[in-house]
Chain A
Amino acid sequence: MATLDLRQVTKSFGATKVIHGVDLSIGHGEFIVFVGPSGCGKSTLLRLIAGLESVTGGAIEIDGALVNDVPAAERGLAMVFQSYALYPHMSVRQNLSFGLENLKTPKPEIQRRVAEAARMLRMEHLLDRRPGQLSGGQRQRVAIGRAVVREPKIFLFDEPLSNLDAELRVQMRIEIGNLHQRLGNTMIYVTHDQVEAMTMADRIAVLKDGRLEQFGRPLDLYNRPANLFVAGFIGSPRMNFLDGTVAEIGSDGVSIALKAGGTLKVPCSAGPSASASAVRLGVRPEHIALVENGTGDVPLSVSITEQLGGESYLHGALPSGETLSVRIPGQTRVKRGETVGLTLAPPEHRHLFDATTGLVLPPLS
């Protein structure tokens, strides 16, 4: 069992505060992904958990025990680094056994675990090579193997796939997923790639500027983003945002007047937003439907069409000048320069955000 709790964790480097009080509770065996744009503090948070940096305030608990002052070597965690950080002067076998030697593991046990990890990661034939003689994917596997042999309480991954090419990345993603299935350990995975986050995570922690924006299951984040940032960050291509003002607050939802023209009803409660306050409507590209020009909610003058065969994307501008993307299943005949009508999503897929605070207006349940 390995649970991890962060309570109001803060971190400052000199006068700069990089983590502003993060609360997280991670259960045993969960696969957690920290995701966010670069500089959001996700790697710092991981290093705080690892013990490579000391926390400025708050508490980190592993299995209920406070580990704030426990050095990295004694926390019983293993980390896979972005640069792999394999010891270049040691063979793969020595790289794998180094950590176990430090723990004074008996020799036969080391050999058994190294052999097992090598078999699991299909790198038995690489054991006597040096890291310099391996390809990127092989190095990645060795780095993971070095973590696996330690049988740690928690695995920490710091953007481990960012140095691999696209094809290998997909493959390694699956391998790490399988590894998690097999080992059942708690894993924390840092990435800036929301696709990795969506595909791998049991739960995702979205971070921005050292703050936790939302923590939840991938589809919850997709379906019910808590704020403008999460809404824009999760999903590809990103959610469209249209400016508008609250026109009428009713019991069955809020009517908004779009800057692009027309009014639209969103089934949500107005919360603190008063009538005529500025709001932003969020609509995902895949929820917008194409209709005849002159009908629908708003017209779109198409500037780019992207045909991928199985699906197509239209990018264009609304009369208000706001840009908007539409995803259409299958292929389309629409060409650039044409104007088409759009219906902006079924009501349950419309997200309304307060323009000043960025928070979502809670949907009517």
Chain B
Amino acid sequence: MIGTTDVTAFLARRRGRVGLHWSDWLAYAYLALGVLVVALPIMWMFVSSVKSPRALVENDPRLLPYEQVTLHAADGQRPLGVFVWSKPDGTKADVAFVGPRGANARVFELATPDTIIEVPRTALARKEIVQPRWQNYTEPTIGSTQSRTFNFLRYFWNSTFVTVVATVLTLVVNAMAAFALSKYRFRGRDAMVIVIISTLLIPPTVILVPLFITVSTLGMLNTLWGVIIPAIATPTGVFLLRQYMLTIPDELLEAARMDGASEWKIFWRIMLPLSLPALSVLAILSVMWRWNDFMWPLIVLTQSEVFTLQLGLSTFKGELNDNMHHLLAMTVLTLLPVTLVFVFLQRHITTGIANTGLK
């Protein structure tokens, strides 16, 4: 793990021995700009996910989730909005809004709830406090399921199943292919590597229709396996693992053969443990790919019981109504697992990307 001192030393690294060299200023400015470009949209999403539907519909540009203060009317029937009334004499007072009358509003001062007065609406401004709306999170998840189309737990389970199973299978299948392509001499090996890598040149949209027909013929439509199986073998994974396995000395395999190990055993006991850095890179990539996948699940899965989270999120955006507040909150929840995976394994992925030049 990286210690605090390392982080400080890393962040404080600079060219000038004393003070900041002009290139330090440039570098830090550039880095700060980069951080803003990347982080702002995500920060906006986090902040907006606790705003009220009203603030979102109004496109409230303020950063914090402001909410109008309300108080319950004496009859207990409905909440009354509280406004700040700028009196003609310049003083201000808090008033509760009872109802409109023409261009005026009928209000009462909070101190004297029984005296209803009429004031011009232009003299009123909302009285607001900062109040996050956590219901955005609770309503679609643990809230009442009545008339709710979004079943978070079900989608979460589907997404998790797809991600975990597809990642495990991806690792095993790609590692086997990479093992064969890196450690065995056979006719056509290099040609096969080239063919596998060149499939990277084919845009996924081109094979969408044949893939759909295959999956549908195999009866895998509306099953999670229809999402998992076509995604298992990836040229990126084979290439990444093969390049790494090439660096494992042949003598280790020969030593294992002299030790009487079968090829199967060499794969599991020698190759896989030694390929761990590359495998963890592929694992992270695969988790991100499968978790964030939208297009292919959208095609294969049409029934909401088998929806993944990404498909579920899309149901918030309807033709007639946008549940923006729920959409944002659930997007945050959807981001969390993959972010956590990244946080815990980022050491591997940065070295892995540096080694392979892939992302």
What is the interface of chain A, defined by CB distance below 8 A to chain B? 50-52, 71-74, 77-79, 81-83, 85-89, 98-99, 102-103, 146, 150
Contacts and interface: CB of A to CB of B under 8 A. Distances in A.
B249 A83 contact: yes
Contacts of A99: 258-261
B258 A102 contact: no
B254 A52 contact: yes
Contacts of A88: 274
B250 to A, nearest CB: 9
A85 B260 contact: no
A74 B261 CA distance: 10
B265 A102 contact: yes
B255 A73 contact: no
Contact of B255 (A51, A74, A77, A79): A79
Interface string B252-266: 101111111110010
Contacts of B319: none
A50 B258 contact: yes
Nearest to A89: B273
A33 to B, nearest CB: 20
B274 A73 contact: no
B258 A77 contact: yes
Contact of B258 (A73, A82, A87): A73
Contacts of B258: 50, 52, 72-73, 77-79, 99
Contacts of B270: 87
Contact of A87 (B252, B254, B260, B262): B252
Contacts of A83: 249, 251
Contacts of A150: 259
B260 A73 contact: yes
Contacts of A87: 252, 255-256, 270
Contacts of A146: 255, 259
A353 B274 CA distance: 54
Given A50-B254, A85-B249, A85-B251, 13 more contacts: A72-B254, A73-B257, A73-B260, A74-B260, A81-B254, A83-B249, A87-B255, A87-B270, A89-B274, A99-B258, A102-B259, A102-B260, A103-B260
B230 to A, nearest CB: 33
A71 B257 contact: yes
Contact of A85 (B255, B261, B262, B273): B255
A98 B262 CA distance: 12
9 contacts: A50-B258, A73-B259, A73-B260, A74-B260, A83-B249, A86-B255, A98-B269, A99-B259, A102-B265
A114 to B, nearest CB: 13
Contacts of B255: 79, 81, 85-87, 146
Most buried by B among A73, A82, A89: A73
Q: Which 10 A-B pairs have the closest CB atoms?
A: A99-B259, A85-B255, A102-B260, A85-B251, A73-B260, A89-B273, A72-B257, A79-B258, A102-B261, A81-B251
Contacts of B262: 73, 102
Most buried by B among A77, A78, A82: A78
Chain B, interface residues (CB within 8 Å), range: 10 to 19
A89 B279 CA distance: 15
A140 B260 CA distance: 20
Contacts of A71: 257
Interface string B87-126: 0000000000000000000000000000000000000000
A38 to B, nearest CB: 17
Interface in B284-331: none
A85 B252 CA distance: 5
Nearest to A150: B259
Contacts of A52: 254, 257-258
A2 to B, nearest CB: 15
Interface string B157-184: 0000000000000000000000000000
A8 B249 CA distance: 31
Contacts of B273: 89
Interface in B205-261: 249, 251-252, 254-261
A260 to B, nearest CB: 49
Nearest to B272: A89
Nearest to B273: A89
Nearest to A78: B258
Nearest to B251: A85
A73 to B, nearest CB: 4
A249 B256 CA distance: 60
Nearest to A98: B259
Most buried by B among A72, A86, A103, A150: A72
A43 B255 CA distance: 15
A102 B257 CA distance: 10
A275 to B, nearest CB: 55
A50 B258 CA distance: 8
A205 B132 CA distance: 86
Contacts of B249: 83, 85
A72 B261 CA distance: 10
B251 to A, nearest CB: 4
Nearest to A158: B251
A78 B273 CA distance: 23
B256 A98 contact: yes
A163 B265 CA distance: 29
A9 B256 CA distance: 25
B254 A85 contact: yes
Nearest to A81: B251
A79 B261 CA distance: 14
A146 B252 CA distance: 13
A78 B269 CA distance: 19
A73 B251 contact: no
B131 to A, nearest CB: 54
Nearest to A74: B260
A83 B269 CA distance: 20
A79 B269 CA distance: 19
A86 B7 CA distance: 35
Contacts of B252: 85, 87
A47 to B, nearest CB: 8
A53 to B, nearest CB: 10
A78 to B, nearest CB: 6
Contacts of B257: 51-52, 71-73
A329 B128 CA distance: 106
